[in-house]
Amino acid sequence: MGKQLLLDNIHAPGIATLGVYREFGGYKALEKALKMKPEELVDEVKKSGLRGRGGAGFPTGMKWGFLAKPEGVPRHLVCNADESEPGTFKDRYLMERKPHLLIEGMIIGSFALGARTSYIYIRGEMMYVYHILEQAIQDAYDAGLLGENIMGSGYSLDLHVHPGGGAYICGEETALIESLEGKRGNPRIKPPFPAVSGVWNRPTVVNNVETIAAVVPIVNMGGEEYAKIGVGKSTGTKLISACGHINKPGVYEIDLGLPVEEFLYSDNYCGGIRNGNKLKAVVAGGSSVPILPAELFLKTAKGEPRLMSYESLADGGFATGTMLGSGGFIVMDDTASVVKNLWNFTRFYHHESCGQCSPCREGTGWMEKVLYRILDGHGKKEDVDLLWDIQSKIDGKTICPLGDAAAWPVASAIRHFRSEFEEYIKNPGSIKDVKHYYRLHNEKEPAY
């Protein structure tokens, strides 16, 4: 097992409470941070090499350094807790079990950025986690860790939790900001970027739950020590939500650079493929990243063992690689249907498109229709090329990355599993089993 910086003591009885969290060293990092200068904290995060853990992997210290600081204008830190990516559940787990770790990270980050009011924007379906956070925040206020003159430092901060309406699009930072302001969650055109004009047109940094929580061990151990964990530009530890056809699904904290084969087959992690089946494919970073067949997932195109890192998973580009993304690790064995899985993903993206950009609004619907036609036994041999054409007209042509997220799985599935699509079209007799999904959700089947 690698270092447990975020999940250490996660199963300790009462760790969600302030008292037990402090018994295990909680808020020591805050005490240390408040004795430092804000710019020193930003520098430590830069030294750590911490990259955003929500999907994009952008350097966190650099993002903090971009924050505009106009005289007399308030600035804000916003935590993106709208965990909506299919296959990803590590942020929910962290907030549920160790809410004070996130709160401590929010206070440190807010101090480093000069924010006096900060927000946690949480997915609306996670109301039980919302109540956990609300209680933890109240306990922090009562203990003098939030509010006026925190720990006698002269620094003051108010922290609020805001539940969203359950829209995937609000995981995109500018749509999140729109929703936080009370508007419809439509992504904004950039520039201006949130670092210049974010919440209420004020300078704003938006970071993921895991990213903000990682600031606590960085302050405790120092940025240079944190950077010694991992490999290359993939420093530190990473939470992985592992699910699918594995023996031990769950949330794991790994040192970045761990061989994917070890993560998949070791008893310390996923424990191998269920029922002794063979590995067919893996979605490594949540539903929006390219799917890889087993042979390309375990080894790069150069024949080198692939690692759980930003660089290694992306090796070869989308032709032979994928992305670490949010760490939503979905495993498929040789009984799984890539086409059915893709239809389910595409149906999700069609439902979640905000409709602002026509390539995404119309294209996701067409991809769902074509895939449904194939699965419903009426596929045509030209449908595979049609799907490829549709995704190419979405990729890179929308305001936000939701269009890309919908297009990449389609492109990679066709690239690596084209024969499976063709087999469905040739032999449709035994696969008419998708209609019940629409009935279950009281939705109208697509007209194709």
Query: Could you report the per-residue pLDDT of 260-282, keeping only the tens digit for each?
Result: 999 999 999 999 999 999 999 99
Q: 24-81, pLDDT tens digit by residue?
A: 999 999 999 999 999 999 999 999 999 999 988 899 999 999 999 999 999 999 999 9
Mean of the pLDDT values across residues 311-332?
93
Same domain, 77 and 192: yes
Mean pLDDT of 356-371: 96
Q: Establish if 2 belongs to a structural domain.
A: no
Q: What is the model's pTM? A: 0.94
Structure tokens at 98: 């160790």
CA angle 37, 62, 357 (to 5 degrees): 135
State which of 201, 228, 255 marks the end of a domain. Answer: 228
In the chain, what percentage of residues exceed pLDDT 70? 99
DSSP one-letter string for 302-319: TSPBPEESHHHHHTTHHH
Q: Confirm whether 305 is domain-assigned.
A: yes
Same-domain status, 255 and 223:
no
Q: How confident is the model at residue 431 (pLDDT cuts 50, 70, 90)?
A: low
Last residue in a domain, options 207, 228, 249 = 228
**pLDDT at residue 327 in the model:** 94
Q: Is 349 helix (H, G, I), strand (E, B) or coil?
A: helix
Nearest to 295 by CA among 282, 308, 314, 307: 282
User: How large a percentage of the chain has pLDDT more than 90?
Assistant: 90
* Residue 253 sits in the same domain as residue 208: no
pLDDT-based confidence at residue 255 (cuts at 50, 70, 90) = very high
- The one-character DSSP state at 67 is -
Q: What is the predicted pLDDT for the residue at 447?
A: 79
Nearest by Cα to 171 from 286, 82, 56: 82
Q: What is the mean pLDDT of the chain?
A: 94
Q: In this structure, is residue 445 part of a structural domain?
A: no
Smallest CA-to-CA distance from 368 within 330, 339, 392, 397 is with: 339
**In the chain, how many domains are there?**
3
Query: What is the mean pLDDT of the segment spanning 315-333?
Result: 93
* Helices (H) then strands (E): counts for the chain: 19, 13
What pLDDT, on a 0 to 100 scale, did the predictor assign at position 377?
87
For residues 140-149, average pLDDT? 98
Q: Are 329 and 204 contained in the same domain?
A: no
pLDDT tops 90 at residue 444: no
